[in-house]
Structure formats: structure tokens, C-alpha cells
Amino acid sequence: MPVFGRLSRTAVAVGGALVMLVPAAAQPATAASPTSFTDRHSARRFAHPGVLENRDQLAFVRAKVRRGAEPWASAFEQMRANPLASLDRAPTPRALVECGSFSNPNLGCTDERQDALAAYADALIWYITRDRAYAEKAISIMNAWSGVITGHTNSNAPLQTGWAGATWPRAAEIIRYTYRGWHRADVERFSTMLRDVYLPVVIKGHATNNGNWELTMMEAAVGISVFLDDRASYDTAIAKFRARVPAYLYLASDGPLPAAPPGSTITTPERIAAFWGGQSTFVDGLAQETCRDFVHTGYGLASIAHVAEITRNQGRSLYPELRTRLSKALEFHAYYQTGAPVPAWLCGGKLTLGIGPATEVAYNALHNRMGVRLPLTGALTRAQRPANTNLLFIGWDSLTHARNPS
């Protein structure tokens, strides 16, 4: 087993159990306050396109696909063959999208998420092929929803708003800044939709729910803020994001227990342990949802990487700050995802695997750009290529970010 950390001599009592500590990694997480980030960069202008891909990244992908290079060519063909990318797809907008727990009821939930992913796929195909039909299809989908939707309701409304809200600006940034056919009035109406329907919901966050909720909501808020050139909302979302990540991914340098989610009442040792799935041993890289399942943990890891990627595209990367924490989490979960036996101290000896297409963006940033050694994450990422879509908010990250140096 890789050395994620040795058991510490320090322990605290939680519900009758000893919470053991693990020493921090040799390279500690960078400490910086949200204020220090926003104060230094509040005057910066936004770069466009600048959500999940910048212009150089898009050009890199286009060149690789046109030459038939792998894994990009296969990833592109996989995306283009997906029914979401069909030019025959008809959008199905609704005024009020109602999503209960586990999307029950599902009144427009799947339609909205998949239409947003369809617009994103069409935007990527347009840029790579220069086939105007795909740009026009992306526009038709975005125009259809911006002319109809007024809100989301029921228990999963915040998460649904985050999932779709994380995807819409990816498509919109590519089309708006690489294609001349999206009329100004339509862009303004789409901007109004993001500003009035999505941003007020996601910018609030959701401190008391599982961390993947708030992390995805912050991804949506950050991406929307870039599209809207809204510096105040961007700074607010980044501050919330930076405060929530340590409450989602643990390092022993955090102290005896994981950080409490800011703004929540989950502050006592008993409540924190319960929030972390009843876990009583905390080691470097453990996530708040590890004992729940790797599927939702993958959502959280993907959103953390996506937000960091956006900040890099906007000239002030959060990757250096997240380097140790995110690296430890990736290797920890890749170890068990690839078949390692589960010890009794971890989630009672049982894990529900299935991390999904969640590692490509982070692996490229940390390993390929920054030189961090991530052997387990690398093996897992390569085995899952080309990364498809989870039909929620992750889509085709192998195409856009595999070995992308830009």
C-alpha cells in the first residue's frame, strides 16, 4: 500500500472512538486567505474564452484531432457519435424544472442537463471542424432554454441548478468568442438567464449538504461569472470554494478533525465524524464522501479541478494552493478504485467504487504541467480514456485536457 501517512500518536475521542491522525505530507498545503486572492486580482479583466478551455487549449485539441493523434482523435469520435451531439437533437426547454431527490420527480431535470451538455459538445465540434451547422445547433439549444426557463424547484433544485449552470457557460464561451453568428440580442437573453435564474441560486452555496453539492455550485458560479464579466460574483464564489475544499478533502495538517463546512452547524467532533460517513480514522486524501461512495466523491474532485482550471485560465491559478490536498486525494482514491484491499479502519472495510470520468483535468494540471508524481491516478486516467460524460456536468475531458499543456 502506498504511504498515505502513518498513524499519529495524537488522537481525539469522537463518540467513544479514537480519531487517529496522520502527519501532513512533506510538502504542506499552501495557506492563503480568500481575501488575499480577491484583493490582489479584483481589478483584472476576464480572458475569453476562459471557462474550462482557453483559446490555446482549444487550438491544441483541434490540431491533434486534425492530425488523427491519440487519444484526442478517438475522444473526438466518441463525442461526435454520442446522441447528445446529433444535429437532429431537438431541445426540450421548460419554464420550471422540478427535481426531487435522485431526480424524482424528474420534470425537465434530465432534459436540461443533457441539453446543456449537447450545446457544449456541439460547440466543441464546431471549433474543431469549423462546421457551422454545429455552432448553429449549439445556439439553437441555448436560445431555446434562455427564452423559456424561469427557475428550479423541489429538493434537488440547488444541485440541478449547479449541474446545468456549470455546463452552459462552457458552451456559451466557445460560441460567443469563436463564432460570429450568435446575435447580440440572443447573447443578452442568455446572459439574463444565467444572471437571473442560475447565479442567485448557486452563489449562495449549500453548506449543510454533502460537499459535491457546494463544489459543483461554485463551479457553476465561477463559470457564469466569467461569461457575465461579473468580478464581484467571481470573487464571492472563489472565496466560498477555497473555504469549502478543506472541509471536503482532508490533510493531517488541518488538525485532529476535518474542517467544518463554513456556515454550517457541523462543528462538533460528533457531527463532523457523522458527516464524514462515521469515519473515525482520518488520513491524507480522505474525502468527506469517501464512505458514501466514489461516484459522488468523483463529482467533488471533478468540480475542484474544474474551478482550478478556470482560475488558471483567468491568470491566477489555484492549483499551487490545491496541489498537495488534491494530489493526495487523487492517489488515495485511485489506489482503492484500481483494486486495492480495503482495510477495516476505512469505512468499516467496505467501499462503493465507481469514481467515473473525474480525474483527467486534475491529472493533466498536476502531473503534466506541474510535475507532480501521480502513478496511481495516471494509470486510472489512462485506463478510462477516452473519458465520456456522466450525463450530469462532466463531459469529454480526455478530448479537452489529456496532455494539454496550454
Number of Cβ within a 10 Å radius of residue 354: 12
- Counted domains in the chain: 1
| CA 183 and chain centroid, separation | 30
Q: Is 214 left (phi over 0), alpha (psi -120 to 50) or beta?
A: alpha
What is the extent of the structural domain holding 343? Answer: 11-401
What is the H or E stretch that residue 303 is in?
helix 294-313
Residue 1 lies in a domain: no
Residue 2 belongs to a domain = no
The pLDDT of residue 2 is 53
The stretches in the chain having pLDDT less than 50 are 1, 3, 5-42
Q: Report pLDDT for 7.
A: 35
Residues 325 and 267: beta-carbon distance below 8 Å: no
Q: Are 402 and 367 in contact (CB under 8 A)?
A: no
Domain for residue 6, yes or no? no
Query: What CATH number is attached to the domain comprising 244?
Result: 1.50.10.100
Q: Is residue 3 part of a domain?
A: no
Q: Is residue 149 part of a domain?
A: yes
Please report the pLDDT score of residue 19 as a whole number: 37
In a domain, 406, yes or no: no
What pLDDT is stored for residue 102 in this prediction? Answer: 86
Say if 5 falls within a structural domain.
no
Length of the chain: 406
Residue 239 lies in a domain: yes
Handedness of CA 371, 377, 380, 386 (dihedral sign): negative
Task: Report the alpha-carbon distance of residue 167 to residue 67 in Å, rounded.
Answer: 28
pLDDT tens digits, 114-162: 999 999 999 999 999 999 999 999 999 999 999 999 999 999 999 999 9
Contact 221, 233 (CB under 8 A): yes
